[in-house]
Every structure is written in structure tokens, then in C-alpha cells.
Structure 1
Amino acid sequence: MRVLVAPDEFAGTLTAPQAAAAIAEGWRRQAPDAEVDLAPVADGGPGFVGVLHAALGGELVAATVDGPFGEPVPAAWLLAGDTAYVESAEACGLALARDGRAEDASSRGVGELVAAAVAAGARRVVVGVGGTATTDGGAGLLAALGAHADRPLDQGPAALAGLGAVDLSAARARTADVELVVAADVTAPLTGLFGTVRASGVERGIAEERVVVVDAVLEAWARVAGRRAALEPGAGAGGGIGYALGLLGGRTTSGVDLVLEAVDLPARARRADVVVTGEGRFDHTSRTGKAPHGVARVAEAALRPCVVVAGEVLVGAREMRALGVEAAYAVVDDVGAHGALDRAYDALVVTAARVARTWAR
């Protein structure tokens, strides 16, 4: 039997390659003769650059940039040919968040990575946008590229209150000869009922009672910087990093689709008998540009069944089918919530073996 294992990271516990290895180990415990093809994936969030480096080769370039609160953080971007790949989460990911400071978090470090790629001669810069701690409308990114305003742009959304004018000319000139691509994990606009603050602000640490206030700040920011770009699907990716890159002429694409093409997943799915994907939490957001939905679509096109292994499964059978998933299995059902977090790799092995008992032949 041929099994294609293509999970995303299990946020906070396992990288995508670690998750793939655990699923493969569990499957082989139950079906030792299975041919298992490991294809870890990403959707633009954490792991984006690592997965693409494994698939495309190229040169990883080390950098030190400003973290979300101005502290130096190590990061790396990938240069493959004349295309650079940047991972926003390396500069301002949720792992760098600080309790109580969500409204001070800046995307400046992402702009510094883009600037480094442009300075190195990249003609195309693809920015993976997902898993960030920032909700600053990409203002910090623009500041790093030379934008100026009458309020600080690189001190988070709190500092944008009262903004009256912004000059993007230097940032636009700096990126004028470069194709900018936003590899987004969501299709949310910048503001409004389905905007980035209402969709993910609390997850990033914004207090519930402040969600409306921060959304209004971003609405005002968009009125000054450019309203039309704020309405585009994906403008809300990364707390507005998608919006900022759109102001510079960037176009938005699906991060997971970009990765799946790079790892040649369609051809690999056609060679498999079953496709296994996964992530930390399989819930309603999984259909908005996340990896499992993308993998399931590839499996469906190849006429192969797709099953999900996740830390938690929070969707019902009907929604699961709508996503193109045959079945989903939760690690917490086998080992409990503490076991899923404290012994993440071993717990995933156990659940993968349970999946194989049903699907191996």
C-alpha cells in the first residue's frame, strides 16, 4: 500500500516534518510493508521557508531583524534563482508574542526581510503570511521599507491612533522593480465583520473588549493609506501584512497552493492509495486557506481518499465531507489534552497507528 503523508505543523508542538515522521512511524507500526511518502507542507505560516527549501533547494540566508517589540530576532529567508521566499512568522510569529502587548506588536521585521531580499537582487519576493502576532495593518513592514507618517508606523496598532497622513513613495520606489507575492493562509479583508481583528485578534492577544477599537484603528489607517486594497481578499492575512504588500502592488495567492505545487503534491497523490494530512486543530478555519483543505482538494482531484489526523477535531461529519475529507481522527481522543501537548510526537504516533488499522490494507 502507498500512503502519502502531507501534514502542516502542529502549532506549538511539532513542525510539519516532525508531524510527518510521527504519522509515518505510527502507520508502519500497524502496516510495516506500507510504502510511505513524506511530504510535509505549509500554508504561508510557520515552516513555509523550511518546506520550500527542502522542495526547491536554493540558499538559506541568515538575518537578524526586529521582532514584534523591537527586540533582535534571528530569521532566515530563501533565495532560489531570482525568487526570494520570506516567512513572516520568523520575524513576528505568535511564538514571539508577549502577554498584554498585542497592540504594540509590529511587522517591521518582515519589511526588513523583504528589504534584504530586494538588496540581494531578488526579482520576485514571495512573502508567506500566517501565524503572526501582529495586527498593525502592515504599517511596520512599510516603515522598514521607507514609509513615513505623522504617527509611528512601527509600534503596533496602538500607535496608529490619530494618524492623519502617510507617505508611501519611498517604499514604493524601493520595490518598484520587484514582483511582490503574498502567500496567504486566509482570505479575510483587512477590516469589518470578517476582517483580521474580528477573525484572529483575540488569538493574537487582543482583549475581547478591544477588538472593535483596534478594528476602527485599522479602518482609519486604511482610509489614509488606501481604502481599496483593504477590501481585497487576503488583505487581512498576517494582521494586515497582506494589505501592506497590496499597497506596494503585490498580488495575493494561496500559500498552500503555492507550496503544494512546489512539492509536486498532485503527482505524488496520484501515485498513492490514500492521502493523510493534519494540523494542530481541525476546525472551521481549516477551509479558509489552511493546509488540510488544500491537501484534500489535491487528493480529490487525484480520486484518492483523504483523512485528517489532528490534535483536536472540531468539525462534524457533514462539514468534513464538504472539505473533501473522508474521516478525521483526534489525538486528544487517544491520550487526552495533556498527553497531546506534553508528549506530542509519541501521541501522534499512537493516533496514526489507529488510523492505519482502519485504512491500511
Structure 2
Amino acid sequence: MRVVVAPDSFGGTLSATAAAGAIAEGWRRAVPDDELRLLPLADGGTGFVEVLHAALGGEWHELKVTGPFGDPVAARWLRIGDTAYLESAAACGLHFVPRERRVPATARSVTSRGVGELVADAAASGVSEVVIGLGGSATTDGGAGMLAALGAVPVDDSGATLPDGGSPLAAVARLDGVLALHGVQLVAAADVDNPLLGEHGAAATFGPQKGADADAVAELDAALARFADALAAAAGRDVRDEPGAGAAGGLGAALLAFGARRVSGAGLVRELVGLDAELDSAGLAITGEGSFDWQSLRGKLITAVAGAAAERGVPCVVLAGQVSVGRREAAAAGVEAAYSVAENAGGVEASMADPAGTLAALAERVARNWSR
């Protein structure tokens, strides 16, 4: 049987490439004669650009940019023809924030400035389009840091420049300056469809995983509401309720307001790496990520793979670190079955101690049930 192995990265434990390799290792132990096609994927979050480079090649551009805490971090973007690809997580990813620092004070203050520095470097290179993968960010600043790096600086009523971070936006009055984009088209490759504000917005939905408690979430949401007013006044477009505005801590809102075209990150990768063609002759599709939860059903990679497989009558199974999606919801998304690494390994702690080994062990077990 021909099996397409097309996972996303597994949180901070396994890249998409490493996850695909672990699944393949376990599968081959059980069914060595199956033909496996490894196709690591991404949906705009961490690993987005590496997946594209692995599939399409291109030229890396490396530079130092401002990290989420304001200190320099190494980042890079990828040029393929006249298009630049970058990911927000390269500059302000949650992986830069150790778990012990994911506290309310951090959630209030981290910045997306480095994303703007990446965009500026790419835009100045002569490309016609810059695609920004959104996801996996540590920030909830609405993209204010990114805009400041590009020339549109948030200021208060007195005209003083605001400090970086989400909470200072409670005092924003306007954006001073204009964006230096050299005429390039921006594309926001979003992994979610959340709006900027409210119970499904950037602060409420993603803030807690970045360290925000209930008070910080409320403070950040209010600050983002004020920033949305300033953003609308500066750009002439109010995007707070648009799908994807809440992506990557509100980076989506800043990009959409200034004319970025929104695309599905998962759909873009699906098209560029040729997932559909690979599935045309497959007997089974395997995908996965760190946590298969309700957010997975809101435009993330698993739904793209399952949807493409369903169009061809190919069953799709999910191997994930943890699974909290019910069978009915999974089936509605095109997923035939979902399996938890943690459950198979005897707990989250055991699975995290050996991410590749426990994923391979689960794949070995699943192969015995699914290989024809």
C-alpha cells in the first residue's frame, strides 16, 4: 500500500520532518513492504519556511532581528523566484520563551518588532511579494511592533512613542509615519480564522498559552481594541472582525489593515508542495501535530490534509501528541481515526521524554490496524 505521511510539527518537540521520519520508522517496523511517501507540511506556524525549502529549494537570507524580549535573535527568510517567504515564529516564536517565563508580565510585553525587520529586509531585496506565515507567536501586540519596524510607529496623545508590547497599546492614539514596503504585495498565510477581539480573539484564545492570566487577557483585549481604532484610522480599513485578524497575536490584523491578501497557510503549502498529486495514488494518508484539539478544526493543517484525502476517497488518520477532538467532530473534518501518543505511551510525561520514539511506537501499532 502507498501511504502519504504528511504531519505538521509537534509543538516544541519534533519538527515536521522529524515527525514524518519517526512515523515512517515505526510504520516500517510493522509493515516493511508498504511504500511510504514522506511529505512534511506546515500551516503558517513554526516550520512553514523550512517545509517550503525542503520541497522547492530557494535561497536563504539570514539576519539578526529583534526577538520577543528585545534582544537580537538569528532569523532567516526564503526567496523563491520573485517571492519571499518568512514566518512570524522565526522572530517572535513561543519557542523563544522558556516555560518558566510564560507569565502575565511576559505576555503583556513581548514584541513582534523582529517580524517587521524580516519583512523590511525581504521587501528591500527586489521581490514582488512577501508571504508571512502566521502562527506559533509569543506575542499579543496586534502587530504593533512589526508596524513600528516598518515605519508606522504607535504613539500616545502627546506624540510619544509607546514601549513595545501589547499592554502599552492601551494608551495608543495613532500611528505616526508610513510603511516602507517598496511596493511589494503582502500575503498573510494564517493558520487560524480567529478575529482580533473578544472571546475568540487573539488575547482570549491564545494568550493563556503565552502566560496570560484572566487579568492579563482582559487588559490585552482592551488594549487591542484601542489599537484596532488607531489601525483603522491609519489604514482606512477596520479589520478587527475579519477572519485571521487574531492570528499570531494579532499580527493578522496589522497585515490585513495595510492591504495584505489573506490565504490559508495550510492551503498554500498544500498547493506548493503538491499534496493533491501525492494523494491521487495513495491508499492512506497520515497526518498529525502536537495536539489535535478544537483549534485544529479551525483551518489548521490536519483539516487541509483530511479534506484533500476525502476528496479522493482516501482514508486519513491522525497521530497526535494528545487528542481531545471527539470522533464525531473528527469525522466531520474527514478524519477516520485519531490516536494519541501520550495515551499509547502511558502518559504525557513518558511521551515527552522520548518524542520520536513514542511517536514511532504509536505508528507501529497503527500500521498493524490500517495497512492492507
TM-score by length of 2: 0.94
- After TM superposition, the structure 1 stretch with the greater mean CA deviation from structure 2, 9-18 or 207-216, is 207-216
Provide the C-alpha distance between the structure 2 equivalents of 1:272 and 1:256, rounded to a whole number of angstroms: 20
Query: Gaps (5+ residues) in structure 1?
Result: none
Candidates 166, 171, 179, aligned match of 1:157: 166
1:355 aligns with 2:366: yes
Q: Distance in 1 between matches of 2:46 and 2:369?
A: 31
Q: Work out which of the residue numbers 99, 113, 132 in structure 1 matches 2:102.
A: 99
Corresponding residue SS for 1:187: coil
Residue aligning to 1:115: 120
Amino acid at match of 1:211: V
| Structure 1 range deviating more: 286-295 or 35-44 | 286-295
| Whole-angstrom CA distance in 2 between matches of 1:119 and 1:268 | 36
User: 2:164, 2:218 → 1: CA distance?
Assistant: 19
Structure 2 distance, partners of 1:298, 1:77, is 28
For residues 296 and 308 of structure 2, the distance between their equivalents in structure 1, rounded to whole angstroms, comes to: 15
Number of paired residues? 358
Which one is further off, 115-124 or 147-156? 147-156
**CA deviation profile, 1:233-290 (whole Å, cap 9, x unmatched):** 1111111111111122101110000001111000101111000000011111111121
- Cα displacement string for residues 154-200 of structure 1 (whole angstroms, at most 9, x for unaligned residues): 61012212111223x421xx226111000000101111222111111
Q: How far is the alpha carbon of 1:359 from its aligned partner? A: 0.5
Distance 2:115 2:153 in 1: 17
1-structure distance, mates of 2:249, 2:348: 29
Q: Is the 8 A contact 1:124 1:179 kept in 2?
A: yes
Structure 1 SS opposite 2:359: helix
The match for 1:25 is 25
Q: Report the AA paired with residue 242 of structure 1.
A: G
Show the 5 A alignment for 1:313-352. Answer: 313-335=323-345, 336-352=347-363
Match of 2:148 among 140, 143, 151: 143
Please give the residue correspondences for 1:84-233 in structure 2 after superposition, counting only pairs within 5 Å.
Answer: 84-97=84-97, 98-100=101-103, 101-151=106-156, 152-153=161-162, 155-167=164-176, 169-171=177-179, 174-175=180-181, 177-226=183-232, 228-233=238-243
Q: Counterparts of 1:360 and 1:165 in 2: how far apart (Å)? A: 59
Is this contact kept in 1: 2:83–2:130, CA < 8 A? yes
Aligned partner of 2:240: which letter? A
Unaligned runs of 5+ in 2: none
**Partner Cα distance (1:301, 1:200) in 2:** 31
Compare 22-31 and 147-156 and name the one that shifted more: 147-156
RMSD (Å) for aligned C-alpha atoms: 1.2
Contact 1:175 1:248 in 2 (8 A): no
1:70 equivalent in structure 2: 70
* Distance across 1 between alignment mates of 2:102 and 2:142: 20
Find the aligned partners of 1:13 and 1:165 in 2 and give their Cα distance: 40
Q: Is the 8 A contact 1:3 1:276 kept in 2?
A: yes
1:10 — aligned with what?
10
| Aligned-partner SS, 2:10 | coil
Task: Give the conservation status (yes or no) of the 8 Å contact 2:124–2:182.
Answer: no
Between the aligned partners of 1:343 and 1:270, the Cα distance in structure 2 is 34
d(CA) in 2 for partners of 1:200, 1:294: 21
> Following TM superposition, by how much is the alpha carbon of 1:153 offset from its aligned partner in structure 2, in angstroms?
5.0
In percent, how many aligned pairs have the same letter? 51
